[in-house]
């Protein structure tokens, strides 16, 4: 049997505090590996609601360093030091675009040993932010490409042993790299921050995300990263102007099974 990928949207929101939409975070399960994409504020709580603890995580992938995507990293690392919960036996690997080592070093300047996990249990890895890059783990393949948002911004394509692939855009404006990276993917999780008539530079709208999904010929599109204005309009209708394939609007704790 070809093994699939389980996707859980942990946070479908933004920096705006919301009881319905936590800040950005997505969990992928591939066989026994748990991969977290971004960790905005509230991520650990949403993980618990999804039945997962921080000790189950094997990888964290950061799309960029804005606080609504990274802020929970500090409490997450601090929590791994709580003695009675010291159950991490395998390393946590953090993957991000170029500049992460510097970003993390500056966090350690502030928090020091409070966010220093026990020796050997934390690895970090930078992927290129100016060209495509890739990395192969035991359980899956990672490909990345630069996005139009921050200097360090990258999107990820994860392909499991079963051959199914999921793409996570992070924050971005419309760009060709995302179309190439997402080509014929089984699922594209794409930001759609603001309605069509409120679009801003550095972010997508429902119809732009739909245009990318159509050009990339993805099997399914999930829109996420909704500012409150998105909940005041018909996001699906706006996306349908440019995309006619399978479509879901992200909700916190929504779960999708890809390929199984």
Q: Identify which of residues 66 and 220 has a Cβ nearer to Zn ion in the complex.
A: 66
The nearest distance, CB 67 to Zn ion, in angstroms, is: 9
- Write the DSSP assignment of 84-121 as a string of letters: GG----S-EEEEEETTHHHHHHHHHHHHGGGG-PSTTS
Which residue carries 């159509």 as its tokens? 214
The nearest distance, CB 190 to Zn ion, in angstroms, is: 12
Helix (H/G/I), strand (E/B), else coil: 50: coil
- For 126, the enclosing helix (H) or strand (E) is strand 122-127
Question: Judged by CB under 5 A, does residue 66 bind Zn ion?
Answer: yes
The nearest distance, CB 169 to Zn ion, in angstroms, is: 11
Q: Identify which of residues 54 and 193 has a Cβ nearer to Zn ion in the complex.
A: 193
Q: Identify which of residues 21 and 66 has a Cβ nearer to Zn ion in the complex.
A: 66
- The window from 68-76, 86-94, 95-103, 107-115 that contacts Zn ion (CB under 5 A) reads 68-76
Cα–Cα distance measured from residue 205 to residue 197, given in angstroms and rounded to the nearest whole number? 8
The conformational region for residue 182 under phi > 0 = left, psi -120 to 50 = alpha, else beta, is alpha
For residue 52, what are its two tokens?
């997962």
Reference 37, options 132, 166, 131, 161; nearest CA is 166
- The window from 2-10, 60-68, 119-127, 216-224 that contacts Zn ion (CB under 5 A) reads 60-68
Q: Identify which of residues 150 and 165 has a Cβ nearer to Zn ion in the complex.
A: 150
Question: Judged by CB under 5 A, does residue 171 bind Zn ion?
Answer: yes
Reference 143, options 98, 178, 91; nearest CA is 178
- The window from 58-66, 93-101, 109-117, 206-214 that contacts Zn ion (CB under 5 A) reads 58-66
The nearest distance, CB 153 to Zn ion, in angstroms, is: 8
The pattern of x and - marking residues 92 through 131 that bind Zn ion according to CB under 5 A reads ----------------------------------------
The nearest distance, CB 172 to Zn ion, in angstroms, is: 9
Q: Identify which of residues 100 and 164 has a Cβ nearer to Zn ion in the complex.
A: 100
Cα–Cα distance measured from residue 204 to residue 171, given in angstroms and rounded to the nearest whole number? 8
Q: Identify which of residues 70 and 242 has a Cβ nearer to Zn ion in the complex.
A: 70
Reference 5, options 255, 209, 176, 180; nearest CA is 255
DSSP label at 177? H
Q: Identify which of residues 68 and 143 has a Cβ nearer to Zn ion in the complex.
A: 68
The nearest distance, CB 229 to Zn ion, in angstroms, is: 14
The nearest distance, CB 116 to Zn ion, in angstroms, is: 27
Report how far apart, in Å, the C-alpha atoms of 198 and of each of 93, 203, 207, 213, 230 are: 37, 10, 12, 20, 9
Binding site for Zn ion (CB under 5 A): 66, 68, 171
């Amino acid at each position: 049997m070809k093994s699939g990928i389980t996707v859980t949207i942990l946070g479908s929101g933004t920096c705006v505090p919301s009881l319905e939409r936590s800040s950005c975070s997505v969990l992928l399960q591939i066989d026994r590996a748990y991969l977290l994409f971004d960790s905005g504020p509230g991520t650990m709580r949403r993980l618990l609601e999804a039945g997962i603890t921080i000790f189950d995580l094997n990888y964290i992938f950061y799309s960029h360093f804005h606080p609504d995507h990274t802020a929970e990293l500090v409490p997450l690392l601090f929590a791994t030091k709580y003695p009675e919960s010291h159950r991490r036996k395998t390393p946590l690997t953090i993957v991000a675009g170029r500049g992460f080592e510097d970003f993390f070093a500056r966090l350690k300047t502030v928090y020091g040993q409070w966010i220093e996990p026990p020796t050997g249990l934390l690895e970090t890895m930078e992927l290129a932010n100016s060209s495509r890059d890739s990395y192969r783990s035991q359980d899956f393949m990672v490909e990345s490409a630069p996005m139009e948002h921050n200097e360090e911004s990258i999107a990820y394509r994860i392909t499991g042993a079963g051959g199914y692939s999921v793409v996570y855009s992070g924050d971005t404006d419309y760009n060709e790299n995302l179309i190439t990276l997402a080509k014929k993917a089984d699922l594209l999780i794409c930001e759609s921050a603001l309605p069509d008539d409120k679009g801003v530079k550095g972010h997508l709208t429902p119809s732009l995300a739909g245009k990318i999904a159509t050009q990339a010929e993805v099997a399914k599109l999930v829109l996420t990263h909704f500012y409150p204005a998105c909940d005041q309009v018909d996001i699906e209708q706006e996306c349908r102007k440019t995309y006619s394939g399978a479509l879901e609007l992200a909700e916190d704790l929504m779960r999708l099974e890809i390929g199984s």
